[in-house]
Chain A
Amino acid sequence: MADGAAPVLDVRGLKTVFRTRGGEVHAVNSVSFHLNPGELLGVVGESGSGKSVTMMSLIGLLPSPPAEVREGEVLLSGRDILKISADELRDLRGAKVGFVFQDPMTSLNPVFTVGNQIMEPLIRHMGMSKSQAERRAAELLALVGIPDAAKRLKAYPHQFSGGMRQRVMIAIALACDPDVLIADEPTTALDVTIQAQIIELVKELRRKLGMAIVWITHDLGVIAGIADRVMVMYAGQVVEQAPVAELFANPRHPYTRALLKTIPSLTGERESRLQVIEGQPPIMSGAPTACPFRARCAHAFDRCGTENPQRRALDRRPVGYGHDVACHWDAPAMVGGAHA
């Protein structure tokens, strides 16, 4: 954790709303986080918690309308990219920031060859000629572990298996050697054995290329194995943030704790009954005036219904750099970790 270096990505108070017929939905609510060079930040949350929307909105990938980024700063290498024009933003996408999406089956354009799709950003951002781009594309395919890369450039996405397609997506994301790679549930649609392959690949690429990664997932298991730091999101807000070991060993937010308990273990003691979080996540219509988790929270008290808790640091480091939590309840430290 290179705290001394300036973060490549620094997001401050990001707020995104969706305008629907039923009113505004506050999908991202004052989210702040940073990403250090070479760091892997895991973002955990259930569907609808705003983790994807956060990442999409900071780089202008949300369809507008209905989405609108309302407030905040997004500093990419120190430059506020919410203030630049759509054209300038386009120059950054794919060049400084690479994306890998969840479903490799639909994320590749079915009618163009894989080579064509890898070469596109190379030609656009790096100003390569076609033949240069082709050479580089072959290198990239080889890099992500696709055998016979030069030949496979001419193949269409449907001729690849799911895992291979996700490798292609990674090759596209890495094509221009980005500072930041945003991986949005990159293994969710894959089988476990393939997921394991992809995770290994990302670890290896990280070693080789050293980019910073934001890894969005709902699978705490994946995070545990790969992330340096974890951010837990609920209802469009960051509820807890900590280095990975710290979070798993000493979760402080009731939601994080519940989440960790719901996962049946493969190795530990088999519970006779699964822990559940009762109820449903709320839909965030209107700016929150209370803690969004209070309805499902076992520790909720009066204040939770009147005041939306702010993130507060649990150690000496400032919010975002150590362990912080957004909860009114002062949780006792857990002894022996989540699985105790």
Chain B
Amino acid sequence: MLTFTLRRLLVAIPTLLFISLVIFLLVDLAPGSPLSDIPLTVPPDVRQRMIEALGADQPVFVRYVLWLRQFFWVEPAYLLDGWFGTNLANGEQRILSWQARSPVFTIIGERIPQTLIVIGTAYLVGVLIALPIGIYSAYRQYSAFDQFGTLFAMIGFSVPTFFSGTLFIIIFAVWLGWFPTKYDTQLEVTDWASFVEQLRQMALPVMTLGLANAAVISRYMRSSMLDNMTQDYVRTARAKGMTERTVVLKHVLRNSMIPVVTVIALGIPSIFGGAIITENLFGVNGIGAALIGAIHASDLPMVQTLAFIFAVLIVTFNLIADILYGLLDPRIRYD
């Protein structure tokens, strides 16, 4: 297990370097300029000066190497300095967002909490809704409940979040007035009242995303349960006189969860990646909103960094999913 993990880690390094190069080039080659916001009355030479001030006039490969150094040396050094009060970074220049002129990692650091809280909760809620639906759908295959579950999942697949989100706003905020439409990122939970407030403002984005997530995961859960329901060991459990509850919720579920858990783990990077449209719609202003904002403003350092972090997370969680599979399934031997 350990050597397997180490091996996968070793393979991940060249993969990541390659991905970083592709991302760097892609983002760099994409058209668009951070200066599109500047009034049209600003003369060209001033624009040119501003572009130079953004550091965009060096050859692309020089910038790639510099960026790599920033990413793998300077920024971690700042992180360590922040933790231990050391001075590894030695005042070196950090990666700055072109749009906000502040360090990209500081911005991302500010945004991760709300992304994790909102999108993470939505994912969790999605999983918590999906599992029982999937389990019961499989247990009563072809029942009315199962048919309804299929329909629910299909709607979840086919309705874009910008549509369901707006619908929820109109129903729950405008008509019913239950929940606010704008997420207050400054809200600190200190007492019961603010906790309730936090729950209220999370309600709409969590509902929107949770439903979409639940649709997907419930399908996986159902098919995995169906695969296992017909296994011989289920008959053994019944032959031992175990209650249906034990048979389904202990024997079948535990086995069915193995592939589902890895699917869930593979979906976790999307939590960090944020849900671009949902975040934007509700003003959650997490990573997803940062990404779309940066793309619209052609904020190259921000897009590159976010894209690469996302790639790192995907690679990492792929690895974690593999390891989880091994941990959950005693039959798997990696060596």
A and B touch in the complex (CB under 8 A): yes
Q: Interface readout for A159-197 with B: 1 if CB under 8 Å, 0 if not?
A: 000000000010011000000000000000000000000
The one of A94, A107, A108, A156 that contacts B241, using a Cβ cutoff of 8 Å: A94
Q: Interface readout for B238-262 with A: 1 if CB under 8 Å, 0 if not?
A: 1111110010000100110010000
Tell me the chain A residues, 131-174 only, with Cβ under 8 Å from chain B. Answer: 156, 158, 169, 172-173
A158 to B329, CA, bound (A): 11
Question: Which residues of A are found within 8 Å of B102, using beta-carbon distances?
Answer: none
Q: How far is the CB of B241 from chain A (nearest CB, A)?
A: 3
Q: How far is the CB of B296 from chain A (nearest CB, A)?
A: 48
Question: Which residues of A are found within 8 Å of B231, using beta-carbon distances?
Answer: 106
Q: Which of A75-83, A117-125, A220-228 contacts B (4 or more CB under 8 A)?
A: A117-125
The one of B239, B258, B331 that contacts A94, using a Cβ cutoff of 8 Å: B239
The one of A93, A98, A101 that contacts B232, using a Cβ cutoff of 8 Å: A101
Whether the Cβ atoms of B235 and A61 lie closer than 8 Å is yes
- Give the residue name and chain of the A residue nearest to B329 (CB): A111
Whether the Cβ atoms of B236 and A90 lie closer than 8 Å is no
Q: Is A262 an interface residue (CB 8 A)?
A: no
Q: How far is the CB of B127 from chain A (nearest CB, A)?
A: 20
Q: Is B124 an interface residue (CB 8 A)?
A: no
Whether the Cβ atoms of B329 and A108 lie closer than 8 Å is no
Best-surrounded residue of B233, B240, B242, B251 (most CB of chain A within 10 A) = B240
A117 to B234, CA, bound (A): 12
Question: Which residues of B are found within 8 Å of A215, using beta-carbon distances?
Answer: none
Q: Is A307 an interface residue (CB 8 A)?
A: no
Whether the Cβ atoms of B232 and A172 lie closer than 8 Å is no
Whether the Cβ atoms of A112 and B254 lie closer than 8 Å is yes
Whether the Cβ atoms of A121 and B241 lie closer than 8 Å is yes
Q: How far is the CB of A162 from chain B (nearest CB, A)?
A: 14
Q: Is A91 an interface residue (CB 8 A)?
A: yes
A120 to B251, CA, bound (A): 11
Known: A92-B241, A93-B241, A94-B242. A107 touches B330 (CB 8 A): no
A103 to B233, CA, bound (A): 10
- Give the residue name and chain of the B residue nearest to A111 (CB): B254
Q: Is A41 an interface residue (CB 8 A)?
A: no
Question: Which residues of B are found within 8 Å of A156, using beta-carbon distances?
Answer: 330-331
Q: Is B237 an interface residue (CB 8 A)?
A: yes
Q: How far is the CB of B174 from chain A (nearest CB, A)?
A: 48
A267 to B159, CA, bound (A): 73
Whether the Cβ atoms of A91 and B331 lie closer than 8 Å is no
Whether the Cβ atoms of B251 and A109 lie closer than 8 Å is yes
Whether the Cβ atoms of A172 and B236 lie closer than 8 Å is yes
- Give the residue name and chain of the A residue nearest to B235 (CB): A61
Question: Which residues of B are found within 8 Å of A99, using beta-carbon distances?
Answer: 236, 239-240
Best-surrounded residue of A87, A90, A124, A158 (most CB of chain B within 10 A) = A90
A120 to B233, CA, bound (A): 13
A103 to B330, CA, bound (A): 19
- Give the residue name and chain of the A residue nearest to B228 (CB): A109
Q: Is A110 an interface residue (CB 8 A)?
A: yes
Q: Is B328 an interface residue (CB 8 A)?
A: yes
Q: Interface readout for A52-72 with B: 1 if CB under 8 Å, 0 if not?
A: 000000010100000000000
Q: Is A95 an interface residue (CB 8 A)?
A: yes
Known: A101-B232, A156-B331, A169-B236. A109 touches B242 (CB 8 A): no
Q: How far is the CB of B324 from chain A (nearest CB, A)?
A: 13
A169 to B239, CA, bound (A): 11
- Give the residue name and chain of the A residue nearest to B257 (CB): A111
- Give the residue name and chain of the B residue nearest to A56 (CB): B235
The one of B240, B246, B330 that contacts A110, using a Cβ cutoff of 8 Å: B330
Known: A109-B233, A111-B258. A95 touches B241 (CB 8 A): yes
A91 to B258, CA, bound (A): 30
Q: How far is the CB of A128 from chain B (nearest CB, A)?
A: 14
Whether the Cβ atoms of A120 and B331 lie closer than 8 Å is no
A94 to B235, CA, bound (A): 12
Whether the Cβ atoms of A158 and B235 lie closer than 8 Å is no
Question: Which residues of A are found within 8 Å of B258, using beta-carbon distances?
Answer: 111
The one of B232, B241, B255, B331 that contacts A124, using a Cβ cutoff of 8 Å: B241
A95 to B258, CA, bound (A): 31
Question: Which residues of A are found within 8 Å of B331, using beta-carbon distances?
Answer: 110, 156, 158
Q: Name B residues whose Cβ lies closer than 8 Å to a Cβ of A.
A: 231-233, 235-243, 246, 251, 254-255, 258, 328-331
Supply 8 A–B pairs (Cβ within 8 Å), ascending by A.
Answer: A87-B243, A92-B241, A93-B238, A95-B241, A99-B240, A108-B233, A109-B251, A120-B237
- Nearest 5 CB-CB pairings of A with B: A94-B241, A93-B241, A99-B239, A94-B240, A106-B232
